[in-house]
Chains A and B, each alone.
Chain A
Amino acid sequence: MHITRGFTGRPRVAGPGLPPGQYDAGDDWPVLSAEVTPELAPADWTFRVDGLVAEPRTWDWDEAHRLPPSAYEGAIHCVTSWSKFGVRFTGVSLDAFLDVVRPHGSATHAVAYSHTGYTTSLPLSDLTGGRAWIAWEYDGRPLAPEHGGPARLVVPHLYFWKSAKWIAGLRILDHDEPGFWEQNGYHERGNPWEEQRYSGD
């Protein structure tokens, strides 16, 4: 660590929920995606879970909405160093989908992929136990396309590149298979509290 001459940083209140190296973006919600925002209507949206599962299955919009509703309220953290507090996503807990497909005992990881083809990889343990959602509403309103609408994955305890926008499915695997940013140098897990930004962190 090297002290930067004359740098004091902005006056800050060390919020208890702010991971190291992050700042509170307030009302801003920056958009960071490497692809063109797709025009995807709810009627064309589907969500599939397959791979190492007992019963692979695809849900359409109405079927997914018949699962028990669940909401996440709290903070999200982007690797580009902003965090956002008091966000509210509504949708369905990923557990509800996994309970139906029943992952094999050998399953350890998942690749989440979007309708655009974006991929991101996660340990299965980060997707279960009420810590991950398929969300279609933000703050009580339909999720905007540039934020992943009609539906996105939300895994709020990891950096937000893991929360694939325009989610199309999960492939359950027995090994880690790096996704888009993971192949481009980002960390395989991405825990903001440990500042796991780049591979090797």
Chain B
Amino acid sequence: MTQAFVPPTRFAVPGRIAVNEQAASEWQTATVTEIRRETPRAATFRLAVPGWPGHLPGQHLMVRLTAEDGYAAQRHYSIASAPDDSGHVELTLDHVEGGEVSGWFHTVARPGDRVEVRGPVSGFFAWPGDRPALLVGAGSGVVPLMSMIRHHRARNLAVPLRLVVSARSPQELIYARELGAETTPVFTRSAPAGATVGRMAAAHVAPLLAEQPSGGWEAYVCGSNSFAEHASRLLVTAGQPVHRIRIERFG
């Protein structure tokens, strides 16, 4: 026998929880119970999943749609709802132009429709609510981060939590009504009177990193790949340790 292998460098951040492998491998039928518009391009789909094993904020699931000829398409979607929403999960989907799965949700789906889901899968991006968390997202990348904020509120957690979120405009900021004092919005195309327009910059993250709660921040970055590259570099430059940045890229 050889001994357990320890990688030579520092990333290898362990997953935050063990994944329930049984749940991750079984498809379950989910029923759409409610559709809520969030922005002109994004809507939230509430699903009843009677056998849902539970999840942690930040985790995602897999959705499968099947056509009559047996063709199936599956995609990953982050879970937007807090874990305590028993028997239900909520997903928030951007309407991707020409998108196969998001297109069906946005143009065909109505309450009563059934899709298949499995999960939650992957524990890496999960946040159980134990450590100070600095959340950085753009576009629909705010979805798993919102689950964390909702969890934080539902449980009245005292652990520090901050969100820096980028959207094209106030109209396109998903969950705008729900975001509160923990949030710094950044608008890239148009902003409310008095606010600046521009890309997320060092000035947005530096003050938060200067705060340094005890034990330091665990950073969670989520969005498109180009956003994830940009934001993670900002964080590293501002002093956030590389091994305490978790990244979820939507592609």
Contacts and interface: CB of A to CB of B under 8 A. Distances in A.
Interface of A: 1-10, 12, 21, 23, 30-38, 51-52, 80-82, 111, 113-119, 146, 168-169, 171, 173-175, 177, 180-181, 183-186, 198-201
A200 B245 contact: no
Contact of B7 (A6, A8, A36, A119): A119
Given A7-B66, A52-B2, A177-B5, A32 B19 contact: no
Contacts, number: 156
Given A31-B229, A36-B232, 4 more contacts: A32-B249, A36-B233, A80-B76, A198-B118
Q: A interface, by DSSP: helix, strand, loop or mixed?
A: loop
Nearest to B21: A199
Contact of B68 (A3, A115, A119): A3
B244 to A, nearest CB: 10
Nearest to A25: B251
Given A4-B113, A36-B236, A80-B76, A111 B66 contact: no
A37 B15 CA distance: 19
Nearest to B107: A6
A51 B66 CA distance: 46
Contacts of B236: 36
B195 interface: no
Nearest to A20: B72
Contacts of A51: 2
B225 A146 contact: yes
A193 to B, nearest CB: 16
Nearest to B221: A36
Nearest to A121: B5
B67 A198 contact: no
B233 A117 contact: no
Contacts of B21: 185, 198-200
Contacts of A35: 11, 242, 245, 247
Contacts of B238: none
Nearest to A6: B108
Contact of B104 (A7, A52, A119): A7
B67 A4 contact: yes
B66 A4 contact: yes
Contacts of B235: 36
B104 A4 contact: yes
Given A35-B242, A173-B5, A174-B2, A4 B74 contact: no
Given A2-B66, A4-B104, A31 B11 contact: no
A47 B1 CA distance: 24
Nearest to B126: A184
B11 A116 contact: yes
A65 B225 CA distance: 30
B248 to A, nearest CB: 7
Nearest to A78: B251
15 contacts: A1-B70, A1-B116, A2-B114, A3-B67, A6-B113, A7-B65, A23-B73, A31-B229, A31-B249, A32-B249, A35-B11, A36-B247, A173-B2, A173-B5, A201-B25
A188 B149 CA distance: 33
A8 B25 CA distance: 25
B9 interface: yes
Interface string B98-127: 101000100010000111101001111100
Contacts of B68: 3, 8
Contact of A185 (B8, B11, B19, B246): B19
B22 interface: yes
Contact of A117 (B10, B25, B125, B245): B10
B4 interface: yes
A199 to B, nearest CB: 5
A17 B104 CA distance: 26
